[in-house]
Structure 1
Amino acid sequence: MQPAVVAHRGASAHAAEHTLAAYDLALAQGADALECDVRLTRDGHLVCVHDRRVDRTTNSRGVVSTLSLADLAMLDYGGEIGVLTLDALLGLAKDHGSRLFIETKHPVRYGGLVETKLVALLARHGLAEPAAKEDSPVVVMSFSTLAVRRVRAAAPRLPTVLLVTQLWPTLRDGTLPPWADHTGPGIGLLRRDPDYVARAADHGHATYCWTVDEPDDVMLCANIGVRWLATNAPAATRAVLGAG
């Protein structure tokens, strides 16, 4: 079975990341699912921003956690005015029937409040208690083990991904902590250790791999059984999978 194509911050190779334009383009390019990063504003809103600061992605400077939603709404994000809220992106994903992978960023000023606010927002959208994890419209991810544990404690039915850049000794055999459903290695890890996907599968854990844009890497993921492939270029990635 081919990996599902997940649009990393939208079709961010062709449109400004974390903008509605990037997500609309990703859906037009046939992405199977969407991915975003979330941070908390000073006044407690979840916004789709990767970096701690807005310097790289806007026409301004500053730390996301010290800015209000109104402050962020005035900025230019690669030609699109106004920050994308998670609330708005959830609405878009719901309208299109698209699964959304949400990464909480850490360390952050507000610590566990990020996950508390996230679960509360998902509950308002009716997404915090899916009937089955396999069918959940939302998957929550983090590199922070504490963050993933908090999500499991607050919303036990939500599927979770533990993102990893390297395998700790306790993970090398493919096992995961009991509060993580799936594993999330970077493509560099899988280049070095492609058999890890099979070891994780032997323990009942599917693999979400980031960030995969090169054709050889796309085919590697397809050949070793990666289930979800996060890419900045959904159309190009889908074309490689189709050709393979």
Structure 2
Amino acid sequence: MQPEHTLAAYTTAFDLGVDGIECDVRLTADHHLVCVHDRRADRTSNGKGVISTLELARLEELDWASWKKLDDGSASEQMDRDPDRGRILTLNRLLDSLTSQRQELLTLIETKHPTRYGGLVERQLVTALRAYGLTTGDLTQLPHVRVMSFSLLALVRMRGLAPQVPLVYLVEQSAPRLSWDGSLPVGVNIVGLDVKIVRRNPSIVKAHQRRGHEVYVWTVNQPEDVERCVELGVDVMISDRPRDVMAMLD
């Protein structure tokens, strides 16, 4: 397996024939959007510090791959063959790669909050998407973008900035029961459910679909969860193990 949120990871996913990809975005100190899950660089690089306090040039000096060994244990040899493997991935580089595929790949972009930059995250995201022609709805031979967040305020900002981009309201296991009856905030038509919610309360899937909402479930890695999602008619499964899930679905 490739290191998370690297171009190598997404290229591998493309080669597997996945229907879509997911990424998390954060702003650097000099306001570049980078694809990093964690608030800090410590876990997935050889550096330390909060992403939002580091400039892109500093983040590009770090190794974002050697922490993750390949299936054969050969992290360093792979780095020699592909130095790009350990380079931090900017959203623009990912969008370059996605648009070059000339496919309607579902592209889920999560804005991470809270952040010191507040609404600047969404403004920068819309600027980037607009540059690639991705703010006017789903088009042929282009990625089909969905913006996701646990922050309702972030989704409200996105709706104001790019009303044609579909939004996904992410819901954790500990979420208020308001969303359990199938209701969603105005302007949001997709719910992203923690797989733990679906395990405990599978009827929530139909509750949302009866209201015309799509249902995405994360993170679907276990075979029993894949089977459950298929039986329930979940619209999208988000997984860290695409090869295994696709094999089960064949």
Q: Output the TM-score relative to the length of structure 2.
A: 0.88
Identity of aligned residues (%): 46
Q: Which amino acid counterpart does residue 120 of structure 1 have in structure 2?
A: T
Partner residue of 1:225 out of 217, 220, 233: 233
Which of 36, 58, 65 is residue 71 of structure 1 equivalent to? Answer: 58
CA deviations on 1:31-84 (whole Å, 9 max, x unpaired) are: 110100000000010000010000000011011001111011111011433210
Distance in 1, Cα, partners of 2:249 & 2:201: 21
Q: Aligned partners of 2:113, 2:181: CA distance in 1, in Å?
A: 26
**Secondary structure at the residue paired with 1:207?**
strand
Conserved 8 A contact 1:30-1:235: no
Alignment check: 8 A CA contact 1:136 1:159 kept:
no
RMSD: 1.4
Distance (whole Å) between structure 1 residues aligned to residue 119 and residue 129 of structure 2: 16
Of 87, 90, 95, which aligns to 2:95? Answer: 90
Q: Does 1:106 align with 2:93?
A: no
Greater RCO, CA 8 A, separation 6+: 1
Q: Distance in 2 between matches of 1:165 and 1:182?
A: 14
Q: Look up the equivalent residue of 1:119 and give its one-letter code.
A: V
Partner letter of residue 83 of structure 1? I
Q: In the aligned structure 2, how far is the partner of 1:158 from the partner of 1:222?
A: 26
Offset, 1:170: 2.2
- For the residues of structure 2 that align with 1:99 and 1:187, how far apart are their CA atoms? 20
Gapped regions of structure 1 (runs ≥ 5)? 1-13
Alignment of 1:1-244 (within 5 A): 14-79=1-66, 80-96=85-101, 97=103, 98-130=105-137, 137-166=144-173, 167-242=175-250
Which amino acid is the alignment partner of residue 58 of structure 1? S
State the 1:233 CA deviation.
1.2
Q: Which one-letter code corresponds to 1:87 in the other structure?
A: N
Query: 165-174 or 55-64: which moved more?
Result: 165-174
Aligned residue pairs, count: 227
| C-alpha contact (below 8 Å) 1:212/1:218 kept by paired residues | yes
The CA deviation at 1:150 is 0.7
Q: Contact conserved, 1:41 with 1:67, CA < 8 A, in 2?
A: yes
Contact 1:72 1:83 in 2 (8 A): yes
Structure 2 gap segments, 5+ residues each: 67-84
Which amino acid in the other structure matches residue 225 of structure 1? G
Secondary structure, aligned partner of 1:76: coil
When normalised by structure 1's length, the TM-score is 0.90
The letter of the residue matching 1:239 is A
For the 8 Å contact 2:60–2:88, the answer to whether it is kept is yes
